[in-house]
A and B are shown apart, each in its own frame.
Chain A
């Protein structure tokens, strides 16, 4: 038996009643894109989206499980009413009836879907739920008809002569007596949607509200693609003349692909706060620049503790689901910090095999660091030199002051007190082959020194210092 679902998006009138100013949704296409993740048989029928998901039931774990997912997702998509039935027109009629009743849940069809045939279901509905009968509402009402059952009980020949053929065909289609031709919705290859603003928007931060509508459509499109977005561009146009000079754009990059609407809109909010608009904006458009397939994680065999919400405990990392959630939260944080501070100031480091201290680590923007490097689980403990290594490294070696001894014969390096040698020398002579960088060659003797004020220090003496003016002793690291 076919399993049709009809989704009625929230209508414009309803949105007007709400106190918060909401933008009118693009159209029903985003809803259809979202539904495409469940089944390829999605179509637009009048104001609604209908989908047939009989073939996908096994993939999603049975009819009830799939219905549960559809209903849960549809609520998140802001659907006003939905209904299930054995054909598309019947489902649409039930959904319209539910919307008219003010409820979102299709009780009749949902709670007892198998106990009632489509005929029993439709017979009780008002005939106005079938849009083809609406032009004849007055005549039918005067005939004493209230429900679809009343209309279908009328003599068929007379019905066909009295009204147009469309009404009879629609009635047949609703009762499943004749097929309904539908053109299936296809997912556009590129997401580039435009939204005209109802009024002029002066500040960049105020664009967010409108952009959220586009982001919602983007997330629906991404759901259909089974993908996440890595970077997207928001464009805006000033005035009516859509020329390059009268437009602006901003590209947002993410550290990992996602289709989480809240995360995207938070990030865009952070970016928009830093922008100033040259002139009032009249319309905006959003384009997905880079998308990447989103890995769907299989559910574990056993119920996981704390899978959905972050636990306030370090041991909450023990389950894979919690680790994924943690990773997602960390990426969201890095995106946010990079958006405000600039990506070059949120840095992730990598260890590089080199004897020169300043070349033994590479810091790069955490946003652009390859995920493979970040996820590398190789233990970097092995293969390191057995020598002491300072935990703080000075960005530039600091020259040490040389103060004469009591006898005045010798000079001794000082750093917050007279240095006492504990160990050394540890000779580093490397980098002479690297001609590209002038300062890369390094011939140094490192010593572990103790300073009365600064603790354990890692100081070096530059060997082969040919210039007499340059001091020979430097502080390079601290054993904090």
Chain B
């Protein structure tokens, strides 16, 4: 490869890839180049996240690991835009061994239609893996969300191999303690929440591309909650808002008598955040 030899011997400052002819520039590997995925991607719906994901979205036909200290830390907020896009195209969402009941009205509001969500209750690690593998081998355009708290590295490798022909998305939720272990997943994210009001913080542990030291902060909240943040916060408005329960008197046998305003508006929040 004469072009590369030329690069080595030449003055480094004089030669930049931009200065090279295009056919040579294509041969030069650059450290900050992002890898490419053969399969299509589904945009994640978060512009800041898309910017750091290879090919700009969640990759299809592959395993994406999401590590969490515990369930309930923003997984729906992270995935709902992409799932809604897939559902709008006619796909379905399969939940294998979900830790809690998914609340369908909330998901429907985000665009993940209730009739497209299928929940598979499993018992034990073997059933989790089996059901996940069957879902991947069915070759349906679905998003498979699988909670695998006990999966070992070789089992993840097997699922990654199965995912190669799965036309949809595949997310495996694993505990945060496996972050240091090796994994066959080409994309691994550690999902945490920031301090109140808890924006998403996505730490990209592994991707086809250079290391990313800083977490991506996604100020994204569920619909209904997001409106509370956006509402204008005026001091007068805040004073008019009904009192939030500060603390309960000790050994109170029953809550205080109902307030005169039964359906208070949820607008005290903006004022609280301002304060």
> A-side interface residues toward B, CB under 8 Å?
310-318, 323, 326, 329-330, 332-334, 336-337, 340-341, 345-351, 357, 360-361, 363, 366, 373-376, 379-381, 384, 386-395, 402, 404-405, 408-413, 420-427, 445, 447-448, 450, 452, 454-456, 461-466, 468, 472, 477-480
> Which listed residue (A317, A375, A411) contacts B115, Cβ 8 A?
A375
Docked CA distance A422–B269 (Å): 5
**Which residue of chain A lies nearest to B198 when distances are taken between CB atoms in the complex?**
A455
A450 touches B75 (CB 8 A): no
B125 at interface by CB-CB < 8 Å: no
Which of B13-21, B85-93, B150-158, B209-217 makes up part of the contact surface?
Answer: B85-93
Contact A465 B254 (CB under 8 A): yes
Closest to B224 in A: A388
In the assembled complex, how far is the CB of residue A424 from the closest CB belonging to chain B, in whole angstroms? 6
With contact pairs A314-B42, A351-B114, A423-B268 given, residues A389 and B91 touching in the complex (Cβ less than 8 Å)? no
Considering the chains assembled together, what is the distance between the CA atoms of A317 and B42 in angstroms? 14
A-B contact pairs, 6 of them (CB 8 A): A310-B140, A333-B140, A379-B113, A391-B77, A478-B71, A479-B77
**Interface residues of B, Cβ cutoff 8 Å to A:** 39-40, 42, 60-61, 70-77, 80, 86, 89-92, 99-111, 113-115, 117-122, 127, 130-131, 134-135, 138-142, 165, 167-168, 193, 195-198, 221-222, 224-225, 227-228, 242, 244-255, 258-259, 262-264, 266-269, 272
Interface pair B104/A361, CB less than 8 Å apart: yes
Report the minimal beta-carbon distance from B79 to chain A, rounded to whole angstroms.
10
Is the Cβ of B103 less than 8 Å from the Cβ of A410? no
| Complex contact B74–A480 (CB within 8 A) | yes
A376 CA / B253 CA spacing, docked (Å): 47
Which 6 pairs from chain A and chain B are nearest by CB? Answer: A410-B247, A389-B106, A478-B72, A333-B138, A423-B266, A388-B224
Question: Please, how many angstroms separate the alpha-carbon atoms of A480 and B110 in the complex?
Answer: 12
- Rounded to whole angstroms, the CA-CA distance of A420 and B268 in the bound complex is 13
Bound together, the chains give a CA A41 to CA B246 distance in angstroms of 85
Which DSSP category, helix, strand, loop or mixed, fits chain A's interface? Answer: mixed
Given the interface pairs A389-B106, A455-B72, the reply to whether A423 lies near B269 with Cβ below 8 Å is yes
B255: chain A residues at CB < 8 Å are: 445, 461-463, 465, 472
- Whether A312 and B100, one on each chain, are in contact in the complex, defined by CB atoms closer than 8 angstroms, is no
Given contacts A392-B101, A454-B72, contact A314 B114 (CB under 8 A): no
In Å, the complex CA distance between A404 and B251 comes to: 10
Whether the pair B100, A347 counts as a contact (CB closer than 8 A) is no
Contacts of A447 in B (CB 8 A): 244-245
B62 → A minimal CB distance (Å): 11
Tell me the bound Cα distance from A388 to B42 in angstroms.
27
Extra 10 A-B pairs, beta carbons < 8 Å, given A347-B118, A461-B245: A317-B89, A326-B140, A329-B139, A380-B113, A388-B225, A389-B109, A393-B100, A454-B73, A461-B255, A479-B77
The answer on a CB contact under 8 Å between B115 and A466 is no
Chain A contacts of B222 at CB under 8 A?
388-389, 391, 479
Knowing A315-B89, A472-B254, say if A423 contacts B120 (CB, 8 Å).
no
Measured between beta carbons, the chain B residues less than 8 angstroms from A349 are 102, 104, 114-115, 117, 119
Q: Are A391 and B134 in contact (CB under 8 A)?
A: no
A341 CA / B132 CA spacing, docked (Å): 12
**With A345-B121, A392-B100 given, is the CB distance from A448 to B40 under 8 Å?**
no
CA distance A393 to B221 in the complex (A): 17
Chain B residues in 8 Å Cβ range of A424? 244-245, 264, 266
Which residue on chain A has the smallest CB distance to residue B222?
Answer: A479
Alpha-carbon distance between A433 and B213 when the two chains are bound, in angstroms = 57
CB distance from B136 to the nearest CB of A (A): 10
Q: Which residues of B contact A394 (CB under 8 A)?
A: 100-101
Q: Are A456 and B197 in contact (CB under 8 A)?
A: yes
**Is B130's CB under 8 angstroms from A351's CB?**
no
Q: Are B76 and A411 in contact (CB under 8 A)?
A: no
Please give, as numbers and ranges, the residues of chain A lying within 8 Å of B141 by CB-CB distance. Answer: 310, 313-314, 316-317, 326
